Amino acid sequence: MNSTVTDVKPKTTEQVRADKRKRVIANAGKAAKRTSLKLSSPLPKAHTPKAPVFNPSPVVPTFSLQTLKSFDMAVKGLKAQGRSLNQRLLICHHHLQSHPALSAIRPEELLKEIQNK
């Protein structure tokens, strides 16, 4: 009579534990596998100056002609007559967002600067 898979009895909990102990003892003499690379030295730390260093000549960004035109249009949009404040801020915002160099400028702050002059 041939044995089939259904004839095999499942292992008891004690048998599973005994098999595991045997594997642990057998593998005790083997070197453990590394899962990460071993660094020969720790990573260098970034140098941070203790006191701020000031450059005597400030760097003035140079804008392209198109960037200057967009800024001029944003200022003209804020000064437009016959439009509500919300419309003027929206026009200014549109022109400022058209260039990455001007996108950090908030229309409200620009309006305050224009009104202070």
Please report the sign of the dihedral spanned by the C-alpha atoms of residue 16, residue 19, residue 25, residue 29: negative
Domain that holds residue 102: 65-116
pLDDT of residue 41: 60
Averaged pLDDT for residues 84-112 = 91
Task: Give the chain's domain count.
Answer: 1
pLDDT of 77 strictly over 90: yes
pLDDT of residue 54: 59
pLDDT of residue 78: 92
Q: Could you give the CA distance from residue 28 to residue 18 in angstroms, rounded to a whole number? A: 15
pLDDT in tens, 17-76: 999 988 888 887 777 666 666 656 665 666 666 666 556 666 666 778 888 999 999 999
Could you give the angle at which helices 85-97 and 107-116 cross, rounded to 10 degrees? 110
pTM check: above 0.85: no
Averaged pLDDT for residues 88-105 = 90
CB 75 within 8 A of CB 37: no
pLDDT of residue 87: 94
Other Cβ atoms closer than 10 A to 102? 17
112 lies in a domain?
yes
Q: Could you give the CA distance from residue 83 to residue 70 in angstroms, rounded to a whole number? A: 19
13 lies in a domain?
no
8 lies in a domain?
no
Could you give the angle at which helices 65-79 and 85-97 cross, rounded to 10 degrees? 170
55 lies in a domain?
no
